[in-house]
Amino acid sequence: MSTRNVHVVGTGTIGEPLIGLLTSLKDELRLDRISFHKRTPLLTDRSKVVNLLKRGAHLAVDADAHQGFVDLGIKPELETHEALEQASVVIDCTPSNVGLANKAELYQKYMANTAGFIAQGSEFGFGKMYARGINDAALIPGEDRFIQVVSCNTHNLALLVDLIALQGAGPENLNTARFLCIRRSNDISQDGSFVPAPQVGTHTDEFGSHHARDAYHLFKTLKYDFSNTLFSSAMKVNSQYMHTIWFSVLVEKPTTQEEILQRFVECDRAAITYKMSANAVFSFGRDYGHYGRLLNETVLVVPSLAVRNKGREIVGFCFTPQDGNSLLSSISAAAWLMDPEGYNKQVQCLRKYFFDEV
Ligand SMILES: NC(=O)c1ccc[n+]([C@@H]2O[C@H](COP(=O)([O-])OP(=O)(O)OC[C@H]3O[C@@H](n4cnc5c(N)ncnc54)[C@H](OP(=O)(O)O)[C@@H]3O)[C@@H](O)[C@H]2O)c1
């Protein structure tokens, strides 16, 4: 593919830092153009759009919203259909089910000139599930043109399973894995959905919450069958910082605390920390991360790690760099769609936003 244009749809919690990251890494990722679609011309969002334009991104809007942006003093460069027509890859960052509707009503029409389309965690059924470093081997060039980047907590669960049970031992080593996803109520960029006190979730099927179910589907792309193996519960707490996960993983082959810790230390997508609070880890991300984000898929709390039950049960807490891991996989999937052979080398530029220790 000669032209490498990436088009991002949505400028919310995921879309905005994604557009920012793509513009920062434009040369390293060998991109020609980064465009983004903003649906609503809002005075409150003007500063965001202006700053994304300053960073070199190109604005695309619907024809009927054009005048609204002009009235705000912003001149859109492209119309939605032009941006889609010229895009090599489209990354949808819209809220729940909009990505699925966009696929049915819009994206299917642009298959001829676009390498592929990517959507985020809420869009179950959009395409092949993906988490960077977990199931890259499952992506099939030319066939997987719709990819769903799994949710932030699913990234974390999958990496915990991978590092604790699968590494060096294979899928047979995993007996069962239980997770409690203690979620922050809303993002600092969002005004709605705050909860005043801890609020528990329901268990909808044999996987509990969608996190274990999505991890099951993710591993299924590698032909691993973890039905009756993974289970998650979820709750929200009145914090805006980071998600926290409690885990208990039962393995067949006895292990030690040192061995497990070593695997986290050696994995670049995992960080370790001796900090015990979500706010301390979040604050580190704010100071050193990209747009305040850590791109690691998990942050293991070392003092919480325990190995019991004669070396067969591994228990601990970790934090989820919520939108960071989704940014990592979104860019990796986009690079793969444009160049399945060479993408691995290109995405090494993201390493500067990984931390070994937080
Ligand atoms: N927030 C997180 O921490 C997080 C983490 C991992 C994954 N995710 C996933 O990422 C996706 C996006 O979440 P988010 O939190 O970034 O959402 P968000 O902050 O609510 O932003 C949504 C964006 O989508 C745009 N939009 C809404 N409806 C649209 C439509 N019909 N057509 C085009 N654009 C539309 C909005 O544009 P206007 O403002 O112009 O209307 C807004 O910019 C979801 O699948 C979510 O599950 C989120």
For the chain, which residues make up each domain, given as ranges?
A: 5-126, 152-324
Please count the CA atoms within 13 angstroms of the CA of 176 that sit on its side-chain side: 8
Q: How far is CA 88 from the centre of its chain?
A: 20
| CA-nearest residue, atom 28 of ligand 1 | 94
CATH entry, 152-324, from 3.30.360.10, 3.40.50.1820, 3.40.50.920, 3.40.50.300:
3.30.360.10
Q: Work out which ligand 1 atom sits closest to the CA atom of 326.
A: 6
pLDDT score recorded for residue 277: 97
Residue 88 to residues 85, 130, 142, 280, 355: CA-CA distances in angstroms? Answer: 9, 19, 13, 39, 31
| Rounded distance from Cα 55 to ligand 1 centre (Å) | 21
**Would you list the DSSP string of 177-211?**
EEEEEEEESS-TT--S---SS-EEPP--BTTBSHH
| Rounded distance from Cα 89 to ligand 1 centre (Å) | 18
Q: Work out which ligand 1 atom sits closest to the CA atom of 119.
A: 45
Question: CATH 3.40.50.720: does it fit domain 5-126?
Answer: yes
pLDDT score recorded for residue 72: 98
Full pLDDT tens readout for the chain, 358 residues: 579 999 999 999 999 999 999 999 999 999 999 999 999 999 999 999 999 999 999 999 999 999 999 999 999 999 999 999 999 999 999 998 999 999 999 999 999 999 999 999 999 999 999 999 999 999 999 999 999 999 999 999 999 999 999 998 999 999 999 999 999 999 888 889 899 999 999 999 999 999 999 999 999 999 999 999 999 999 999 999 999 999 999 999 999 999 999 999 999 999 999 999 999 999 999 999 988 899 999 999 999 999 999 999 999 999 999 789 999 999 999 999 999 999 999 999 999 999 999 9
| Rounded distance from Cα 220 to ligand 1 centre (Å) | 27
